[in-house]
Amino acid sequence: MSVFKRCLLLCVVCLATPWVMAQSLADAEVVIRDQIEAFGDGDAERAYSHASDGIRAQFDTPEFFVAMVRSQYDALYNPRQLSFAEPMRVSDERMHQEVLVLDRSGQNWRAVYSLVAVEGRWRIEGVVMRSASRQAV
């Protein structure tokens, strides 16, 4: 391969890499939104499909998983509004996504999702929630 072709290939790869990474990070938001929509639709299988292998090992069935979400993360089960912050890549295989959640009672929450890449697809491996302590009107 000529020097020119090598340089051209390197330029293409360098220019495309940020776009590919941005697409990958955007895909994580799609996964989170789809899981939350699946909760609202009563589609336990679809919601469970977005969970990492570690979460699946803790909850053998989609029904047990959804029951845990309803009891521990009710604000995510059927929220009134979601607002996504900029995602944070931890490594090529891991990222965090902060989501501001307004629940049905008007309480604001801050949810930080941890996601892991599995076979080219983001899976949710955990969520930490904290009250954002402002009541909506």
pLDDT at 18 over 70: no
Give 5's pLDDT tier (boundaries 50, 70, 90): very low
Q: For 77-128, how does the pLDDT look when each residue is reduced to its tens digit (9 = 90+)? A: 989 999 999 999 999 899 999 999 999 999 999 999 999 999 889 999 999 9
Q: What's the whole-model pTM score?
A: 0.80
CA distance 77 to 79: 6
Range of the domain at 20: 3-135
108 — phi, psi (to 5°)? -90, 140
pLDDT more than 70, % of the chain: 80
- Above 50 in pLDDT, residue 69? yes
Q: Check the CA dihedral 31-64-129-76 and report its sign.
A: positive
Q: Which residues contact 125 (CB under 8 A, 6 or more apart)?
A: 51, 52, 54, 55, 114, 115, 116
Question: Count of domains in the chain?
Answer: 1
Amino acid identity of 4? Answer: F
Assign 76 to helix, strand or coil: helix
pLDDT grade for 136, boundaries at 50, 70 and 90: low
pLDDT at 6 over 60: no
**pLDDT value at position 1?**
61
CATH of the domain at 77: 3.10.450.50
Range with the poorest average pLDDT among 4-13, 57-66, 86-95, 104-113: 4-13
- Judged against a pLDDT cut of 50, whether residue 137 lies above it is answered with no
